[in-house]
Chains A and B, each alone.
Chain A
Amino acid sequence: MHFLYFDPSIGAMIVQAIVAAVAGIVLFSKGLMFKIKSFFGLIRNDEDLFDDIEIKESDIENKQSGDE
């Protein structure tokens, strides 16, 4: 059951395939740069005001209950 109470725009739905491909390349190259930088010891541990996207919590517990 879906509630399309606003127009998601068909164009915006189609374009996501390209956006995702670009995002994939961006993420891949970032990951690669990170690996290269850390290999040369260039990674600074700046204090971040915001966390990364992962939600830190008892993920293991959730996975276990999901596997049952």
Chain B
Amino acid sequence: MTSNKRHPSSFRDPSGYIFNKNGVVKRLIKPVYFKQYTSLKETGFFDKLFQNQLLIPHKEERSSATEIVLVPEQIPFITYPYEWSFLQYKEAALLTLKIQKFALEHGYTLKDASAFNVTFHNGQAMFIDTLSFDFYKDNEPWRAYKQFIGHFLGPLLLAHYHGSQSLNLLSNFIDGIPISMLSSMLPFKTRLNPFLYSNVHLLSKFEKKHNDDDHGDFKKQTHLSKKAQLNIVTALYGYIKKLTLSEHSEWGDYYNKTNYSHDAFTSKSSIINKWIKSLEPLTIIDVGGNDGKFIRQIGHNFTQALVCDIDSNAVDFNYKTAKVNHEKNIQPFVLDVLNPTADIGFNNEERASFIKRIKKFNPDVTMALAVIHHMTLTGNIPFNMSAQFFASFSRFLIIEFPTRKDSWVKRLLDVKRDFKDHFGFYDLDNFISGYSEFFEIQDQIPVDNSERIMFLLRRKDA
């Protein structure tokens, strides 16, 4: 019987749960879902989704009268909706709709449409909740419709009207953005658009109006043909596919407006390449990696590189580049190093923090280029504390230190005005002594034609 400890996020769906055995993530199916599972398997529905790379592939490990255990393809690093850029979020929404339409056409339906059912794997959005499918019942509306609006259409609309920071809202609303709040946050003109009026404002009204008269017998009152449901799904797809972001990136053209000369860029790249070649890492994280410019300069073959940045637009650009170039080993996501993703959900265990996930991922090398002056001068983080942060998840650290003569550092110091003197500690000696608490210096090379120095550090315990 089941002695496996279920994953703390896997309790909502009674059909089964996820558990971790010796480091391998597995999925257990309970008898209550056997009928659905057998049908999905035998009609070849699962296979079709696998072939089209829409659903995470799995193999059946064992099957008995009491449980079936699946071993899905393992995902090294899960990203959550509040870490996606606009384009990634959009792709996840479109994937969900695509799957729902396909399911309807084959006699099934998605019983939930949570954004947490999707993650990014091999350079694309992938549906990961294998047990989300149920039999379609004739003329039944989509039970996950409201969930789809709260999890996908809502955040995307808010990002469209108020900027990409809105995508972060799901970290507070783990069950989707409340429809009434969404309705009140959208500009008045959205009420004049029949599509938005019906999908958001009218939905909100109906939700309020019928809040009290649900006696569990709604099947009598609700009726929707399959054709009508397909219309909803197809119209949502068409609308979301065309949805864009109307803001410009603060960092989008970073490399065109920094103090980097062409020589400095080449010099920096060659230093990084030299070290990477000697370390031969399989996994890398580039913290503050902007649009992935430096990751793409690396000549070495790695299995996976995570590239995170606070700027959602840079991440967006990075993801677009990876998608166009079919780069399956680059995974961009949004992260604020000054406030990394926290543990959230029930018991604070449902969705793991960035620190927990990155420790598990345990990248061979961390790159922190053009980041330390922002952490120290903008975030007021002392050197030994940022050193501790980097040391907590990786053995090797390639870090760039811009000295006080660097124009960016000067600018950051100048805006401090009267408090400029409080940052007198920002210099090379203090940097080295702060980082020496956790790291040994393996190598240090100044970047040509710049006021910056590159360091290769190795964690002391390693």
Contacts and interface: CB of A to CB of B under 8 A. Distances in A.
Interface of A: 1-6, 8-27, 30, 48-50, 52-53, 55-57, 62, 65
Contact of A16 (B12, B102, B145, B194): B145
A11 to B, nearest CB: 4
B231 A24 contact: yes
Given A14-B222, A62-B48, 12 more contacts: A2-B111, A6-B175, A10-B211, A12-B203, A15-B198, A19-B232, A20-B231, A22-B198, A23-B231, A26-B195, A27-B234, A49-B87
A27 B198 contact: no
A6 B12 contact: yes
A28 B34 CA distance: 40
B223 A17 contact: yes
20 contacts: A2-B134, A2-B137, A3-B111, A5-B14, A11-B205, A11-B211, A12-B145, A12-B149, A14-B218, A15-B206, A16-B228, A19-B199, A19-B202, A19-B232, A20-B224, A22-B195, A23-B234, A26-B195, A49-B87, A55-B52
Contacts of B324: 49
B54 A19 contact: no
Contact of A55 (B44, B98, B147, B203): B98
B210 A5 contact: no
Contact of A50 (B35, B147, B241): B241
Contacts of A16: 141-142, 145, 222, 224, 228-229, 232
A24 B232 CA distance: 8
B210 A10 contact: yes
A11 B206 contact: yes
A13 B320 contact: no
Contacts of B15: 3
Interface centre among B44, B221, B228, B237 (most CB of A within 10 A): B228
In the A-B complex, list the 4 residue pairs whose CB atoms are closest, starting with the nearest: A23-B235, A11-B206, A12-B146, A20-B228
B323 interface: yes
A24 to B, nearest CB: 5
Given A5-B12, A5-B13, A13 B229 contact: no
Interface string B131-152: 0001101000111111101000
Nearest to B11: A5
Contacts of B231: 20, 23-24, 27
Contacts of B38: none
Contacts of B198: 15, 18-19, 22-23
B14 to A, nearest CB: 6
B101 interface: yes
Contacts of A21: 228
Contact of A12 (B44, B206, B233, B238): B206
B210 A11 contact: yes
Interface string B413-437: 0000000000000000000000000
